[in-house]
Amino acid sequence: MITGFGAITLAGLYYYFKKNIPTVWAHESKENEVNTVAREPGSFVEGLPVYSSDDVAKHCNESTGVWISYKSGVYDITPFIKIHPGGNKILLGAGGSVEPFWSLYAIHQQPGTLALMEKYRIGNLTKGEEHLAMANMHDPYANEPRRHPVLVVKTKKPFNAETPSSLLVESFITPTDIFYVRHHFPVPDVDLSSGNYSLEVIGLDEKHSLNLNLDQLKTAYAPHSVTAALQCSGNRRSEMNRVKPTKGLEWGQGAIGNAVWKGARLRDVLLTAGIKDSDENENWHVQFDGLDADPTNAPYAISIPLTKAMDPRGDVILAYEMNGEPLTRDHGFPLRVVVPGTTGARWVKWLTRIEVSKNESESHWQQCDYKSFNPSTDWDKVDFSTAPAIQEMPVTSVVCEPHDGEKVKLKKDKLNLRGFAWSGGGRGIVRVDVSIDLGKTWHVAELLDPVKLSKQWAWTRWQANLPVQTTGQETEIWVRAVDSSYNTQPEGMEHLWNMRGVLAVAYHKIKVLVEEN
């Protein structure tokens, strides 16, 4: 869960007030047009009142007004809290500086984000106090693991990177070192030799609650392996952004990978904790907490339906291995949840706590993120409580070779294409269609990997060799997949557009220049 002003603004402030450029200072009247020129965010502004950090600290709730500081600036964000979803969580960061929070989120260092915050500027911080907030704070990203240079980096702090799409189809199993990486916070560094790591499992009562270290988990529960694709909810967001900008990382097509995961069945652990198969608890949830946390030590936390966790065919595991080796730090060492068929947001890394509850997680990530709305809903009128959290993912497919904009040569007068397809919920891929004439004619691609109609957690690679009559001109390639429930992809992103940029599963469309042999 993200808490504090810095966290919530990631989801709302930038987008909610993106229409408010140019900056107008909160203390200025409309008549005072001469001073509406945008200034360096957080800089000292002559003529504004001066407040001490103690003054700011006194304004920490809605009755006193909610103030925060950033560098030399003091801001009254009370109006923002009243109109923004999840505004109450902002109170956890009230009365202080947002810099410790924002050091975790690279997006907040962007000029546009900082400038928009100036709408709430009311004064200056006493000179000499602007550096106090960060004086004793070390770089939270100083101990990050090394990464493979082939990864396409989207943000460095926190680290987020995708696999080049051309490498995705080279192997059915994605090598761990080039598997996409998605983080919200700095990467925890767990030392098992210290004896400080354990997994807490909260059952129906104290009698059935468990506290397990990794060795105990491995010894007490039979290992189970599952081959499953992991995909970020925002994969292919960059294509959706061509319709209209959304909020989130600019993922291409590589925020997905396929791996062999090994660990204990979650069902087995929950049975030990006193949970039983029953219709009475079919609407319950299993909540997960990770070790990754914000500056207030609030962890990343989400939940999945208990029915998924307890399904003997659901293959939900507490994984300690990935591709035959212990999990790496980037992928959740020492333990992560693997929830096949669901969005990656449910696969909590660095797992430290499990609780069975009648309610889903109350975390920001469960309640106010990873949800989708119709194209007419934007940040100024969204009600997150009206939409369920994304669980199973819809069907998708991608052309990995050639890539968009590439110059390609024909082989025996044919255009060679390769890609992958995948659907959530264990639904297998039954067909992949490819068109090079804007959908007038469709060709059935060859599926390269074995496919099951159910419990198909892995992706399916495909290839197609299409005859091309003319060369020297641009050719547009479309691909769509059909799963075992005969779900297929919609044609255009414009009808799928949502402010969060998730579930971007329209036809994948690329353009290539076909050259003469």
Domain range summary for the chain, segments of one domain joined by +: 5-135, 152-379, 396-515
Instruction: Check residue 186 and report its DSSP letter.
Output: P
Average pLDDT, the chain: 87
Residue 248 has pLDDT above 70, yes or no: yes
pLDDT classification of 92: cutoffs 50, 70, 90: low
Annotated catalytic residue within 84, 224, 431, 461: 84
Q: Which residues contact 319 (CB under 8 A, 6 or more apart)?
A: 261, 262, 263, 327, 332, 335, 336, 337, 338
Query: What integer pLDDT is reported at residue 398 of this predicted model?
Result: 99
Helix H or strand E encompassing 5: helix 5-11
Q: Cβ atoms within 10 A of the Cβ of 443, count? A: 14
% of the chain residues with pLDDT over 90: 69
Q: Which residues contact 297 (CB under 8 A, 6 or more apart)?
A: none
The CATH number fitting domain 5-135, selected from 3.10.120.10, 3.40.50.10470, 3.40.50.2020, 3.40.50.12640: 3.10.120.10
> Can you tell me the mean pLDDT for 225-238?
98
Mode of pairing for the β-strands spanning 285-293 and 299-305: antiparallel
Report the distance separating Cα 116 and Cα 111, nearest Å. Answer: 9
Which residues on neighbouring strands pair with residue 354, listed in sequence order? 201, 288
Residue 262 has pLDDT above 70, yes or no: yes
Query: What integer pLDDT is reported at residue 304 of this predicted model?
Result: 98
Q: Which residues contact 119 (CB under 8 A, 6 or more apart)?
A: 17, 20, 23, 24, 26
Query: What integer pLDDT is reported at residue 55 of this predicted model?
Result: 92
> Can you tell me the mean pLDDT for 74-88?
71
Query: What integer pLDDT is reported at residue 94 of this predicted model?
Result: 76
Return the top range by mean pLDDT from 30-34, 110-114, 132-136, 274-278. 274-278
Annotated catalytic residue within 14, 16, 108, 427: 108
Residue 163 has pLDDT above 80, yes or no: yes
Mode of pairing for the β-strands spanning 460-467 and 210-212: unpaired
Radius of gyration from C-alpha coordinates of the chain: 25
Domain covering 396-515, topology: Immunoglobulin-like (2.60.40)
Counted residue by residue, the chain has a size of: 517
Query: What integer pLDDT is reported at residue 473 of this predicted model?
Result: 87
Residue 24 has pLDDT above 80, yes or no: no
Do residues 75 and 100 touch, judged by C-beta distance below 8 A? no
Annotated catalytic residue within 180, 370, 418, 461: 370
What tokens were used for 392? 């199973």
What tokens were used for 347? 């696969």
Q: Cβ atoms within 10 A of the Cβ of 271, count? A: 16
Report the distance separating Cα 124 and Cα 406, nearest Å. Answer: 52
- 182 counts as catalytic: yes
- 120 counts as catalytic: no
- 400 counts as catalytic: no
Report the distance separating Cα 348 and Cα 429, nearest Å. Answer: 26
Model's pTM, two decimal places? 0.80
Which of 4-13, 61-70, 423-432, 503-512 has the lowest average pLDDT? Answer: 4-13
Q: Which residues contact 253 (CB under 8 A, 6 or more apart)?
A: 162, 165, 168, 235, 236, 398, 400, 508
Query: What integer pLDDT is reported at residue 209 of this predicted model?
Result: 92
Residue 10 has pLDDT above 70, yes or no: no
Residue 211 has pLDDT above 80, yes or no: yes
What tokens were used for 275? 């949970």
What tokens were used for 412? 């025996």
**CATH architecture of the domain with range 152-379:** Alpha-Beta Complex (3.90)
State which amino acid sits at residue 94.
Answer: A
Query: What integer pLDDT is reported at residue 102 of this predicted model?
Result: 61
Which of 71-80, 311-320, 432-441 has the lowest average pLDDT? Answer: 71-80
Annotated catalytic residue within 75, 221, 232, 418: 232
